Chain A
């Protein structure tokens, strides 16, 4: 079966959540969230820790001048700001396109039935 179950209109039974949870439709929603959010979280945490570790143990490299008084340490620090803004934007775009419509469909079906 491919869609989340619909409950009979007019009944006030709570939805059968286990049945919804094992539906293909919900599985797609869960996968769309996890396959995006989990690896990305791991990636930005690693990127941040790499930056911290470089600051602690690669002083010479970080001190390399790039432009004027701006050195690699500053450029990487500013890059952390940029990647944070970009990831927030990227996730929000992903959520609006891939998560919200799916979540909305399941929700409205369940609430119409409940």
Chain B
């Protein structure tokens, strides 16, 4: 019997979803209640700036590794990659590899020196040897831009997810969900600060890994722990045959899409180490050695997770009728959970579907909390205290500003999320990686390792990388001209690639170099000596 015949009539989004709704909502409510309780507990211990921004720097390497994984594995990677594999086979799997390899850049070049020389934000390190106000302004701007793009994709994703998982199709329902996500995330961050957010991310990581392990185990059991027979079944059931297991179904269509994929790969591998919400996690551990240990744990956890997406994605491709997987495939993982648990109507299927759906919501909440914290920290610490108040604010004023900034940025994210809910914003996560790789990574690496780097170089690389990546996307097929664009009706896509990285990343590096060479100002040798010694030895680390 071909496996999908027995499962053919299970469109998740329509009628089938309704009956699972109470269970999904109950599980999710338990998660929200438990994490909010934890947040209040964490909030009681959050007094000074070090608590709010860095969780008191008391987390262990393992705890932070878990939290990093929870911060990093977004709904896009959980639902998105499983879905991409289910639809495009091998090309979907290709995606996850860049997300993992990228961690080596963080491990070898960024995590430890950042921990040693900064206090709370990426801007601390970028502005260390430079003129504070212009560089802090630039660092704050790029932090907020990267985080807002990322946040927007997650918020809009939350709206789309409930439609698919809970069968809520009314516009008011979707708006309500986006607002609810916004309120919960603002509560996490304002009350619990970094400590509360870290615990939420740790719990979410454990849930996500546990849920994925369970599904992976059940899929493996079904295929007798034989990966070749899983792949074979997926290829057959997908109706695409061997091509399903080969490169090309998603990215191999045209010469442009091939170059686009290289551009995407470059952004993925170089973006991670420039994502502000990841960088601030390195401040939550006491030493650089603990920061190294946390990246190692993160690489292990994230690596195992992405390996399991093979089981999730190809399992879905093998067991679900291709026509039932709705594009762009975000429901493939929950659908697989239902099928592998015993099919529609069975108790096992209902429980597993509810479990995976609740995990998906938890995933969104933990990620948006981390993003909001990163942008409000940078706003309060870089822009408010060091630019507007010229470093003259009290600690109490600073934490107050960070809390208000959280409310403000949360509100902006909700409003944008509501407006963007009908738009195709999946491309924004890749854009956030491209901006991080073009604006933040060059500046970070030059600051840490190049003695001739100057304030002008830093400004050129941040603003140049930021502007070029954003502008190239604005004039790309992501925004207009294609059926899958944000505005399919408009036509101003003069730049052919969906991902700007191939141009904007080298440009960011080039501008940082050129800006420094053409600078009239001499680099501050005294400050660089201080930064270099501190970043490599940990002398005077906070």
List A contacts of B289 (CB < 8 A): 100
Within 8 Å by CB of B261, from A56, A77, A89, lies A56
User: Complex formed: what's the CA distance from A21 to B540 in Å?
Assistant: 15
User: Given that A21-B529, A77-B94 are known contacts, is A88 also in contact with B261, CB under 8 Å in the complex?
Assistant: no
Please give, as numbers and ranges, the residues of chain A lying within 8 Å of B227 by CB-CB distance: 70
Question: B303, A84: Cβ atoms under 8 Å?
Answer: yes
CB-nearest residue of chain A to B251: A56
Contact B232 A106 (CB under 8 A): no
Most chain A C-beta atoms within 10 Å of own C-beta, residue among B101, B248, B538: B101
A21 in contact with B533 (CB, 8 Å): yes
Closest chain A CB from B8 CB (angstroms): 24
| The stretch of B103-111, B160-168, B329-337, B407-415 that contacts the partner chain | B103-111
Provide the residues of chain A in CB contact with B533, threshold 8 Å.
15, 17, 20-21, 26, 106, 110
Q: Which of B23-31, B191-199, B239-247, B360-368 is near enough to bind chain A?
A: B239-247
Q: Which of B93, B265, B539 contacts A110 (CB 8 A)?
A: B539
Q: List, in ascending order, chain A residues with CB within 8 A of B258's CB.
A: 56-57
Interface size class of B (residues with CB under 8 A): 35 or more
Residues in chain B near residue A71, CB distance under 8 A: 245-246
B269 within 8 A of A: yes
Contact A48 B107 (CB under 8 A): no
Binary interface encoding of chain A residues 41-57 relative to chain B, with 1 for a CB under 8 A from any of its CBs, else 0: 10011001101111111
Judging by beta carbons under 8 Å apart, are A59 and B246 in contact?
A: yes
Q: Is B152 part of the contact surface with A, judged by Cβ < 8 Å?
A: no
The answer to whether B539 and A106 touch across the interface, beta carbons within 8 angstroms, is: yes
Q: Interface size of A by Cβ–Cβ distance < 8 Å?
A: 54
Contact with B along A22-43 (1 / 0, CB 8 A): 0000100110011001001100
Flag whether A80 is at the interface (Cβ < 8 A): yes
B residues less than 8 Å from A103 (CB atoms): 536-538
Q: How far is the CA of A56 from the CA of B266 in the complex (A)?
A: 14
* List of B residues within 8 angstroms of A80 by Cβ: 97, 100-101
Q: In angstroms, how far is the closest chain B Cβ from the Cβ of A98?
A: 12
Q: Check if B392 is an interface residue, CB within 8 A of chain A.
A: no
Chain A binding surface SS class: helix
Contact A84 to B526, CB < 8 A, known contacts A40-B108, A48-B98, A55-B94: no
**A49 & B537 in contact (Cβ 8 Å cutoff):** no
Please measure, in the bound complex, the distance between the C-alpha atom of A74 and the C-alpha atom of B94, giving whole angstroms: 9
A97 located at the interface, meaning its Cβ lies under 8 Å from any Cβ of chain B in the complex: no
The residue of chain B having its C-beta at the shortest distance from the C-beta of A94 within the complex is B108
Q: Indicate if the CB atoms of B97 and A95 lie closer than 8 Å.
A: no
Q: Is the CB of A81 within 8 A of B529?
A: no
List the B side residues contacting A56 at CB < 8 Å. Answer: 247, 251-252, 258-259, 261-262
Point out the residues of chain A lying under 8 angstroms from B171, CB to CB.
Answer: none
B228 near A67: Cβ-Cβ < 8 Å: yes
Interface string of B268-310 (1 = CB under 8 A from A): 0110000000000000000001001001100110010011000
- Contact (Cβ within 8 A) A52 B94: yes
B311 interface residue, CB < 8 Å from A?
Answer: no
Please, what's the 1-or-0 string for B75-104, where 1 marks a CB less than 8 Å from any CB in chain A? Answer: 000000000000000110110011011011
Q: What residues of A have a CB within 8 angstroms of the CB of B265 in the complex?
A: 48-49, 52
Decide: A73 and B245 in contact? CB cutoff 8 A: yes
In the complex formed, the residue of A with least CB distance to B233 is: A69
Instruction: Check if B536 sits within 8 Å of A29, measured CB to CB.
Output: yes
Partner of B269, one of A15, A21, A37, A48: A48
Residues on the A chain within 8 Å of B101, using CB: 44, 48, 80, 84
- Nearest chain B CB to A42's CB is how many angstroms away? 11
Contact status A85-B303, CB under 8 Å: yes
Partner of A18, one of B90, B94, B105, B525: B525
The chain B residue with its CB closest to the CB of A67 is B228
Tell me which residues across on chain B come within 8 A of A92, comparing CB atoms: 292, 296
A99 to B287, CA, bound (A): 14
Looking at A21, A51, A91, the one whose CB has the most chain B CB atoms below 10 A away is A21
Please tell me if A111 contacts chain B, counting CB pairs below 8 Å: yes
Closest to A83 in B: B101
Indicate whether B532 reaches chain A with its CB closer than 8 angstroms: yes
Known pairs A59-B246, A69-B231, A88-B107; A20 contacts B97 (CB<8 A): no
Question: Given A59-B252, A62-B247 in contact, is the A41-B109 Cβ separation under 8 Å?
Answer: yes
Distance of A65 Cα from B490 Cα, bound (Å): 44
Q: Whole-angstrom distance from the CB of B533 to the nearest CB of chain A?
A: 5
Closest to B100 in A: A84
Decide if A73 touches B303 in the complex (CB within 8 Å): no
* Bound Cα distance A54, B97 (Å): 14
Which residues of chain A are within 8 angstroms of B251 by Cβ–Cβ distance?
55-56
List B contacts of A100 (CB < 8 A).
289
Q: Report chain B residues within 8 Å CB of A91.
A: 104, 107-108
Task: Please name all residues of chain B whose beta carbon is closer than 8 Å to the beta carbon of A110 when the two chains form the complex.
Answer: 533, 537, 539-540
Q: Tell me the complex Cα distance, A56–B488, Å.
A: 27
- Residue in B closest to A23 when the chains form the complex, CB atoms: B533
**B503 nearest CB across to chain A (Å):** 16
Residues of the A chain whose Cβ atoms lie less than 8 Å from the Cβ of B536: 26, 29-30, 33, 99, 103
Of B94, B296, B529, the residue contacting A88 (CB under 8 A) is: B296
Give A62 to B249 CA distance when docked, in angstroms. 13
11 CB < 8 A contacts A-B: A15-B539, A68-B228, A68-B229, A68-B231, A77-B94, A77-B97, A84-B101, A87-B108, A88-B299, A92-B296, A103-B536
Interface residue ranges, B against A (CB under 8 Å): 90-91, 93-94, 97-98, 100-101, 103-105, 107-109, 112, 226-229, 231-232, 235, 242, 245-248, 251-252, 258-259, 261-262, 265-266, 269-270, 289, 292, 295-296, 299-300, 303, 306-307, 449, 525-526, 529-530, 532-534, 536-540
Which residues of A does B touch, CB under 8 Å?
15, 17-18, 20-21, 26, 29-30, 33-34, 37, 40-41, 44-45, 48-49, 51-57, 59, 62-63, 67-71, 73-74, 77, 80-81, 84-85, 87-89, 91-92, 95, 99-100, 103-104, 106-107, 110-111, 114
Kindly list 10 other residue pairs between chains A and B, CB separation below 8 angstroms, not including A67-B228, A91-B108, A92-B296: A55-B91, A55-B251, A63-B247, A70-B231, A73-B245, A74-B245, A77-B90, A77-B94, A81-B97, A88-B103
